Amino acid sequence: MSFNNQDSNNQPTFADQKRKTVEVAEFTEDGRYKRKVRSFVLRTGRLSEFQKNAMNQNWGFYGLEHQNEPFDFKKIYGNDNPVVLEIGFGMGHSLVEMALQNPDRNYLGIEVHTPGVGACIANAIEKSVKNLRVICHDATEILRDCIADASLEGLQLFFPDPWHKAKHHKRRIVQPHFVEKVIQKLTQGGFIHMATDWENYAEHMLEVLQQAESLHNTSETNDYIPRPDFRPLTKFEQRGHRLGHGVWDLYFTKK
């Protein structure tokens, strides 16, 4: 199944139509619905022809759309292997690498920036990765509507937007209501793996995760873990190391 490029009437292609801002719900600190906020802004470069073609021609296999009922993972992937969800995969290099190195797992990635989605699909095609699907939609709505309870082996959240100004901290994805929703979707023993290069955000992540009574921190020091070998080192992270930036990994499991 493929999606055609721009037609003779110069109508935007499927990939072009995906380029949009995404509004998500904002909640109070105790998890009550507050209002909609613009959480994501397309500040990446333009969608290249290469990325656009990857999306247009291969979305039928790699792409999933938001729906109002849980995904049937067995039907989607053609097997019963455990599913790991990654939110905000960027350009998708590390996600594709993890899918390639772990054929006994299925990976589902969510990213709102279309250049990254296109690049991820192109990379998956180049490396013949079949155990990966991607979504271009707000993660909050996907978790709420499309992921069945106790259906995920794990959740990966690597280098999310830190919203470093204090007045913007409410826009950070890692909040108590978000973590509780993720826990609900995890199988027994499932994991939450987060990483950030902002120490303030790392402290916030740790505090929120520790508040969840149903989670166990695998850190021997009850805070952070060294970067595990199974999390690929990204180009972004390599650059940070050269500049002397720290990186904090957190790995919690569901009791």
Asked if residues 125 and 58 have their Cβ atoms less than 8 Å apart, the reply is yes
Task: List pLDDT tens digits, range 102-160.
Answer: 999 999 999 988 899 999 999 999 999 999 999 999 899 999 999 999 999 999 999 99
**249 belongs to an annotated ligand binding site:** no
Asked if residues 167 and 244 have their Cβ atoms less than 8 Å apart, the reply is no
**254 belongs to an annotated ligand binding site:** no
- Domains held by the chain: number: 1
Tell me if 1 is assigned to some domain: no
Tell me if 127 is assigned to some domain: yes
3-state secondary structure 184-208: HHEEEEEEEEEEECCHHHHHHHHHH
**Residues recognised as catalytic:** 161
**197 belongs to an annotated ligand binding site:** yes
Cα–Cα dist 94/89, whole Å:
8
CATH number at residue 34: 3.40.50.150
Task: List pLDDT tens digits, range 42-60.
Answer: 444 577 888 889 999 999 9
Asked if residues 117 and 22 have their Cβ atoms less than 8 Å apart, the reply is no
Tell me if 5 is assigned to some domain: no
Task: List pLDDT tens digits, range 186-225.
Answer: 999 999 999 999 999 999 999 999 999 999 999 999 999 9
Angle 38-41-43 (CA atoms, 0-180°, nearest 5)? 170
How high is the mean pLDDT of the chain? 87
Asked if residues 178 and 140 have their Cβ atoms less than 8 Å apart, the reply is yes
pTM value?
Answer: 0.84
Tell me if 65 is assigned to some domain: yes
Full residue range of the structural domain in which residue 94 is found = 14-254
Tell me if 6 is assigned to some domain: no
Q: Assign 121 to helix, strand or coil.
A: helix
Q: Assign 130 to helix, strand or coil.
A: coil
**255 belongs to an annotated ligand binding site:** no
Tell me if 7 is assigned to some domain: no
HSE, side-chain direction, 13 A CA sphere, residue 25: 16
Tell me if 238 is assigned to some domain: yes
Tell me if 2 is assigned to some domain: no
